Structure 1
Amino acid sequence: MKVFVSVDMEGVSGLTDPEEMRAGGRGYERGCELMTGDANAAIRAAFDAGAERVVVTDSHGTGKNLRADLIDERCTLVRGPFKPMRMGEGLDASFDVALYVGYHARAGVERGVLNHTWMGREIQNLYLNGEVAGEIRLMAGYAGSLGVPVGFLAGDRAACEEARDLLGAVETVAVKDGHDRYAAEVIPPVRAQELIYEGVARALNAPDGWKRLALDAPYTMAVEWNSTAIAQSCSLIPGVKPSGPRTTEFTTDDYAEIVGLLGVFATIAGEIGCAGRQYG
C-alpha cells in the first residue's frame, strides 16, 4: 500500500493563533513541533497498517514547517516553497489513498478555526464548477482526478463536517472545536495524536470507506477576490477572464492546471496584498 499524507497547519492539535502559523511569530516553533507530531501519528498508523511507502507533503505556507529532524524516518518528506502542485505535490496515480492532516474549513464557515481558502484574506470565495470550494474540496478533487480516494481527514470540527458533507462517511478526527475563528476548545495534543493514530488505523484497515471525489471536466474555477487590483492583475494571465470587478474565471480539462494556477494566483495576490497593506 502506498499512502500520501498532506499536512496543513491551521487544523493541527492545540493551535488557534495566527502567530503560531507564521515564521517568526510567537509560538511558531512549537507549532511546527505539534504539526510534526500530528503528522507522525498518521505516518506511524499507516506503516502499522501495512503501508510500504508513505510520502508526506508540507502543505502550509512556504512548505518549511514540518521538522525534517523529527519526522518519522520511514517516510519521505516533500518540502519547500513554490511547489507546482502545492498541497498536492508528490501525489500521482500510483498512490492507493490520500490522508489529510491539519486541515481547516473554507473561508466564511461559522466556528471554523482559522478558516480561509488558499490564502489568509485575499480570497473571499472560490467556486469549482459552480460549487463553493475550500481546500478540502480542491485537494479531494485533485486526488480524484488522479483516481486516488481520500481515506482520512483530521482538523477542527468544522473541517471534519465539511469533509463528510463532501465525501460522505469518510473517517475524520476533530482535534478541536471552534468557538470563533481564533478560539477553540482543544484536545491536548498528546491525546489528539492518539486519536489521529487510531483514526488512520481504522481508515486504512477499511478501504471500503475511502471516498473518491469524481468531478466532471471541464473544470471551471471562479475566484471572488477581496481586491479589484488582484482581480485585474490575475485576469492578465492567459486563459483567465474577468467575470466582475473582483472576480476571475478559468476553465480547463486538466485539473492539475487548476491547482497550478492557484499557486500562481497566490504569488500575485500575496505581492499585491502586501504592497497595498490596509487596502490589499
Structure 2
Amino acid sequence: MKVYVSVDMEGVTGLTDPEEMHAGGRGYERGCELMTADANAVVAGVYEAGATDVVVNDAHGSTKNLRIDQLDPRASLIRGPGKPMRMAEGLTAGFDAACFAGYHARAGTRHGVLNHTWMGHEIQNVYLNGEICGEIRLVAGFAGFLGVPVALVTGDEAACAEAREVLGEVETVPVKKGIDRFAAQLLPPAVAHALIREAAARALNRLSDFRPYVVPPPFTLGVEWNSTAIAAGCSLIPGTRPAGPRHIEFTSEDFRDIMALLGVYAMIAGRVACDSGIYG
C-alpha cells in the first residue's frame, strides 16, 4: 500500500510564532525538528497499518525544512524549491492514500493559528470554482483529480474543522487550540505524536471509508491579492484574466495547471511585494 504525506509547518506540534517558520528566525531549527517528528508519527502509523511505500513531501516555504537525518528511514523525502506541483509534488494516481500533516486554516479563519492561504499577507483569499479555498481544499482537490483520497489531516483545531468541512469524516488530529493568530494552547510533543501515530494507523485501516475529493471541471482558480500591482503583474500571464482591481482568474481542464500556476503567481507577488516597500 502506497501512502503520500504532504507536510506543512504552521500546523506542526508546538509552533505558533512566525519566526519559527523561516530560516534564521528564532526557534526555526527546533521547528524543523518538530516538523520532522510530526511527519515521523504519520509514517510510523501508516506502516503499522500495512503501508509498504511512503513518500514525504516538504510542503512549506523553501521546502528545505524537514530533517532528512531524522526522518524515519522507511520513508523517502522530496525537498527543495522548483517543484512544479508545489505542496503536492510527487503525488500521482499510483498512491492509495494521501495524508496532510502540519496543515493550517485558510486566510481569515478565526482562531486559526498562523492562518493564511499560500502566502502570509499578499493573498487575501483564494477561490476554486467560485468557492473560498484554503490549502487543504486545494491539495485535496488535486489528490481527487488523481483519484487519491485524503485519509488524515493534522494541524490546529481550526485546520481540522476545515478538513472535516471539506472532506467529511476524515481522520483529524488537533495538536493545538488557537487563541489568536500567533497564540495557542499546545499539546506536548510526546502526546501529540502518539495521537498522530494512532490516527494514521486508524485512517489506513478504514481507507475504504474515504472517497477522493472531486472538484468538477473546468477548474477556475481565483486569487484576491492585497495589491493592485500584484494583480496587474499576474494578469500578464497568458490565460489569466482580471476579475477586479485586485482579483484575477484562470481556468483549465487540468488541475495540474492550477497547482503550478498558483506557485508562479506567488513568485510574481513576492517580487512585487519586495519592490513595493511600505506600500506592501
For the criterion TM > 0.5, the same-fold answer is: yes
For the 8 Å contact 1:97–1:210, the answer to whether it is kept is no
- In structure 2, distance between residues paired with 1:220 and 1:273: 25
- In structure 1, distance between residues paired with 2:82 and 2:144: 22
- In structure 1, distance between residues paired with 2:191 and 2:275: 42
For the 8 Å contact 2:144–2:215, the answer to whether it is kept is yes
- In structure 2, distance between residues paired with 1:277 and 1:213: 40
Q: What SS does the aligned partner of 2:213 have?
A: coil
- RMSD over aligned CA atoms reads 0.7
Aligned amino acid, residue 98 of structure 2: A
Q: What SS does the aligned partner of 1:164 have?
A: helix
Aligned to 2:251: 251
Quote how far apart the aligned CAs of 1:213 are.
0.7
Deviations 1:214-263 (A, max 9, x none): 11100111110000110000000000011111010000000000000011
For the 8 Å contact 1:225–1:231, the answer to whether it is kept is yes
Map residues 1-280 of structure 1 onto 2, 5 A cutoff.
Answer: 1-280=1-280
- Taking only the aligned residue pairs, the percentage that are identical comes to 63
For the 8 Å contact 1:111–1:180, the answer to whether it is kept is yes
- Please give the TM-score of this superposition, normalised by the length of structure 2: 0.99
Q: Which runs of 5+ in 2 are unaligned?
A: none
- In structure 1, distance between residues paired with 2:30 and 2:250: 39
Q: What SS does the aligned partner of 1:32 have?
A: helix
For the 8 Å contact 2:47–2:201, the answer to whether it is kept is no
Moved beyond 6 Å, runs of 4+: none
Deviations 1:164-199 (A, max 9, x none): 001111110000000000000010111101110011
- In structure 1, distance between residues paired with 2:211 and 2:121: 30
Q: What SS does the aligned partner of 1:126 have?
A: strand
- In structure 1, distance between residues paired with 2:207 and 2:42: 16
Quote how far apart the aligned CAs of 1:82 are.
2.0
- In structure 1, distance between residues paired with 2:201 and 2:51: 11
- In structure 2, distance between residues paired with 1:273 and 1:162: 29
For the 8 Å contact 1:99–1:151, the answer to whether it is kept is yes
Q: What SS does the aligned partner of 2:62 have?
A: coil
Quote how far apart the aligned CAs of 1:208 are.
2.7
Quote how far apart the aligned CAs of 1:278 are.
2.4
Aligned amino acid, residue 106 of structure 2: R
Q: What SS does the aligned partner of 1:248 have?
A: strand
- In structure 2, distance between residues paired with 1:48 and 1:275: 50
